[in-house]
Amino acid sequence: MKLKPLGCAALLVMGSAAHAQTTTAPAPAAEQTLAPITVTADAENTTYNAPTSTVSGLKTDTPLLETPQAISVVPQAVIKDQAARDLGDVIKNVAGVTPGGYYSEWDYYRIRGFDAAFTTYQDGLRGDYDGIGAETFGLERVEVIKGPASTLYGQAPLGGIVNLVSKRPRREFGGEIGFTGGTWDFYEGTIDINVPLLTPGAPVTPAPLGKGAKAVQPIAVSTSDDLGIYFRLAALYRDKGSFVDYYDYERIYIAPSLTFEWGDDTSLTFLTSYLRDDGLFSMPLPARGTVLPNPNGEIPVSRFIGVPGKSGLLNLDTLRLGYEFKHRFNDSLSIRQNLAYYRVEQHWNDILYNSVLDDDLRTLYANPYDYNRGLYQRFMVDTAVDFLFDTGSIKHSLTLGTDYYYSNQKARYTEINYDDFPGSYVAIDLFKPNYNVSIPQPTIAGSFLKKEHNVGIYLQDHMKLTDKLTFTVGGRYEYLWLDDSGSYGSIPADATDDAFTPKAGITYEFVPGVAAYANYSRSYAPQWGSRDETGAPIAPEEGENWEGGVKYDLLDGRLTGMISVFQLTRENVATSNLATPDPSDATVSGEQRSRGFEFETAAELLPGLQLIAAYTYLDAEVTEDNDIPVGTPLLGVPDHTVTAWLKYTVQDGPLKGFGVGVGGRYYSSQSGDTYHTFDLPSYGLVDTALFYERENYRIQVNFNNVFDKRHFVGSYDELYVLPGEPFNVSASVTWKF
């Protein structure tokens, strides 16, 4: 389906119709005493500074200075100003996070040296499928919880998790319509509209919009009781090419949400979204000719690996249905529940996987593979009760919760006889490709069905011992089981496991607005894909984290940030079992360690002058393994990372609303594969932006990689190296109402 500007125009028409009815809602209700989640946002945050409190760290609305864990928040203002359309572009601003992988359009990232991709959370629940790119237009902010999160969230990577916070209805009518165009045939149309359908209190007639305008009746019907109903719709159409030849990608995103509020004590928000992706993707490039010398020369980053119009065709549909419910019984007791259902259907036609680089270092052989009728379904629910009470002078915020997770994955695929080389492979000349070739059809059919269940119960007590000192302790027990029909030729398995993950932390605000913190926590994650000599899944990996640092929130929130030091040890890592002759037999004797230092800050230096900056030092390496030499650095982890973004907006005079943004990032060299046989070179990039914003509209132009630096952002091995984008420009116009 090709809509291009026509699809964008359709969104503009939708927004124009909505704007024909304008209203003013009454002031928001008072803030709740015990409120785990802020359901409606009444004003968009236009600053770069983190909020004073967040829910994701402790699952209760707790000040960041009292949360004994490093938590970073990237607000919507940063996402907009940087025109960050990929999750990696958002979390590059966070200390300790390294984005970059080996496929474009997928969300790959590492947190504190450990791979955390394909585990992205959304609204506090696991919501990632195969890492396909999250839609940043549908987000209010992105939160990064660093270090183990298993005590509250269950199985999770040791380095931490990323939580996406969806846009929610607001109490006031308003919205925006936008259009963006850019390099490589980039077209995008967006609409984001809030409509109060029912508001408590007396009806209000809004003032006319301008001279000669007529007053209009409010959209919302006002009532004398406490019920309020608020609706929001975020929608997007995007069509884009790439610096890679023949690449084409189309996305449709629709996310309606609806909130019911009964006074200050009860709210129910339905969060839904539909995502449709269609594309023609290219494979990455080999290391020879990109990051390693090749006697044939340098491979252009625009080189398409595949057969244009025939290979790499993807169709993916993602449906998400869910709700968030909360009710406060009194000032001391409340209950909340999050629930979500995901359904993902994907079809890959004629994937050509990079397989062998010939000795001539110019002929790449790729093996065909079809993946069709892939259906992934997930159901998740998290229910918790929060108690506020005192024991003597100690104030407690106690949480008791339970959650359930169910995953059902099934698919059919066809593959080649891999021993038929080169007959069943496609040969591609990396320097003078001839795309007029046929693709051998895979003939060996297979299928799989895998079901997974997790049930957990967790308890946490956040204690305020004095006005300055807090102590948090918690623990979780989780039971999980797997029913695997034999994925990709493995032996069918019916396995169970359980785990207990504790944590403890302390904060001390030694001067107003500055607090020291320390914590100890553990993580776990199943390793269903690694099997022992009997064909059974091996035990889960485990992790241990020691961390300490200082957080600050000064100058009425205009200066925020933190400094952290940490050591994480990843235990029970799958490695080869040397006691058996089969190299695929695994055991859990591997170990990896990451230690480092992080600094990040957000500041409003002067009126209109905003800064975000981060620095990370990481020392991540293998400490025990039967295959990888001890001391080998972990894949894709630079020792040093620096990022910064500065924006200035004129506050007065004839240029009021005009702004300039400039920023950059630097990554030192990083290991290009598991065994560190080559490095991705270090690189630094500079981005700039121009803005002009008035009350009802915004014009923005972004210039990325302004010095056109050839660079490579991630890799898997010597055949999978992903180039970064050359210099590119995008320009957008947004109408606000």
> Is there a single domain that holds both residue 113 and residue 185?
no
Q: Please enumerate in sequence order all residues whose Cβ is within 8 A of that of 359, keeping only pairs 6 or more positions apart, or say none.
A: none
Bigger pLDDT: 277 or 20? 277
Query: What are the structure tokens assigned to 641, written together?
Result: 């990372």
Tokens 């979500």 found at: 340
Residue 44 banded pLDDT, cuts 50, 70, 90: low
184 and 285 in one domain? yes
With cut-offs at 50, 70 and 90, classify the pLDDT of residue 20.
very low
Mark whether 141 and 259 lie in a shared domain.
no
Same domain as 181, residue 133: no
> Residue 432 corresponds to which tokens in the numbers above?
């003078």
**Angle of CA points 446, 132, 316, to nearest 5°:** 60
Q: Answer whether residue 213 shows pLDDT above 50.
A: no
Query: What is the Rg, in whole angstroms, of the alpha carbon atoms belonging to the chain?
Result: 26
Residues 591 and 666 in one domain: yes
* Residue-level pLDDT at 130: 63
Residues 553 and 503 in one domain: yes
Q: Both 501 and 521 in a single domain?
A: yes
Q: Is residue 262 part of a domain?
A: yes
Residues 309, 279: Cα–Cα separation, whole Å? 10
Q: Are residues 122 and 264 in the same domain?
A: no
What was the pLDDT predicted at 71? 95
45 pLDDT higher than 80: no
Residue at 8 is within a domain: no
Q: Are 314 and 281 in contact (CB under 8 A)?
A: yes
The candidate with the shortest Cα–Cα distance to 273, out of 123, 74, 411, is: 123
Indicate whether 295 pLDDT > 80: yes
Q: Copy the structure tokens of residue 105.
A: 């359009």
pLDDT grade, residue 203 (50/70/90)? low
Q: Which residues, listed in sequence order, are joined to residue 254 by a DSSP beta bridge? A: 235, 274
Residue indicated by tokens 């699809």? 7
Whether residue 431 is contained in a domain is answered as: yes
Instruction: Annotate 659-713 with DSSP letters as a single string.
Output: EEEEEEEEE--EESSTT-SSEEPPEEEEEEEEEEE-SSEEEEEEEESTT----EE
Is there a domain that residue 504 lies in? yes
Which residues make Cβ contacts (< 8 Å) with residue 735, sequence separation at least 6? 15, 176, 177, 178, 696, 697
* pLDDT tens digit sequence for 350-392: 899 999 999 999 999 999 999 877 899 999 999 999 999 999 9
Residue 10 has pLDDT above 80, yes or no: no
The pair of three-digit structure tokens given for residue 619, joined into one six-digit string: 């020392």
Of 145, 166, 187, at which residue does a domain stop? 166
Quick check: is 237 in a domain? Answer: yes
Could you tell me the pLDDT band of residue 706, with boundaries at 50, 70 and 90?
A: very high
Mean pLDDT of 707-721: 97
Please give the residue that has the higher pLDDT: either 27 or 58: 58
Query: Quick one: 156 and 183 in the same domain?
Result: no
Q: What is the mean pLDDT of residues 687-691?
A: 98
For residue 89, is it within any domain? yes
Instruction: Note the pLDDT tens digit of each residue in 233-266.
Output: 999 999 999 999 999 999 999 999 999 999 999 9
pLDDT, averaged across the chain: 89
Higher pLDDT, 466 or 45: 466
Give the pLDDT score at 487.
65
Is a pLDDT exceeding 90 seen at residue 146? yes
Tell which wins on pLDDT, 719 or 118. Answer: 719
Q: How large is the average pLDDT for residues 514-543? A: 92
- Segment among 175-189, 240-254, 292-306, 528-542 with least mean pLDDT: 528-542
Supply the pLDDT for residue 298: 97
Which residues is 334 bridged to in the sheet? Answer: 328, 386
Whether the predicted pLDDT of 53 surpasses 90: no
Neighbours of 30 (CB within 10 A): 8
Q: Which amino acid is at 14?
A: M
Query: Residue 51: what pLDDT?
Result: 83
Residue 494 has pLDDT above 50, yes or no: yes
Average pLDDT over residues 602-607: 94
User: Which residue spans within 183-247 are E strands per DSSP?
Assistant: 186-200, 221-223, 227-240
pLDDT at position 23, please? 36
Answer yes or no: are the C-beta atoms of 551 and 65 closer than 8 Å: yes
CA–CA distance, 590 with 622 (Å, rounded to integer): 8
> 123, 148, 166 — which closes off a domain?
166
Looking at the structure, do residues 376 and 513 belong to the same domain, yes or no? Answer: yes
Name residue 228's amino acid.
G
Residue-number span of the structural domain to which 79 is assigned: 58-166
Residue 64: CATH number of its domain: 2.170.130.10
Mean pLDDT value of segment 320-349: 95
- What whole-number percentage of the chain has pLDDT above 90? 77
Which amino acid belongs to residue 370?
Answer: D
In three-state secondary structure terms, 67 is coil
Task: Between 270 and 280, name the one with better pLDDT.
Answer: 270
Residue 32 belongs to some domain of the structure? no
Q: Is 90 exceeded by the pLDDT of residue 687?
A: yes
Q: Which residues pair with 427 in a beta bridge?
A: 365
Write the CATH number for 377.
Answer: 2.40.170.20
Nearest to 136, CA basis, from 180, 76, 73: 76
Q: Given this model, what pLDDT does residue 170 score?
A: 95
* Same domain as 98, residue 194: no
Residue 128, pLDDT > 70, answer no
In the structure encoding, which two tokens stand for residue 355, read together?
Answer: 């397989």
What is the distance between the alpha carbons of residues 34 and 389, in angstroms, rounded to a whole number? Answer: 12
The length of the chain is 737
Pairwise CA distance, residues 492 & 528, whole Å: 11
Instruction: Return the percentage of the chain with pLDDT > 70, whole number.
Output: 90
Please give the average per-residue pLDDT across 556-564, as a whole number: 95
Answer yes or no: is 629 within a domain.
Answer: yes
CB atoms within 10 A of CB 681: 15
CA atoms within 13 A on the CB side of 564: 33
Whole-angstrom CA distances from 574 to 535, 542, 570 are 14, 11, 11
Picking from 166, 185, 212, the residue at the C-terminal end of a domain is: 166
What is the domain count for the chain? 2
- Encode 219-240: b = buried (16+ Cβ within 10 Å), e = exposed: bbebeeeeebbbbbbbbbbbbb
Specify the pLDDT at position 448.
85
Nearest to 605, CA basis, from 641, 645, 570: 645
Are 129 and 188 within one domain?
A: no
* CB burial of residue 43 (10 Å; 0-12, 13-18, 19+): exposed
**How confident is the model at residue 24, as a pLDDT?**
36
Rounded distance between C-alpha atoms, residue 326 and residue 340, angstroms: 15
Buried-state track 376-397, b at ≥16 Cβ within 10 A, e below 16: bbbbbbbebebebeeeeeebeb
List the one residue out of 646, 655, 563, 660 whose CA is nearest residue 605: 646
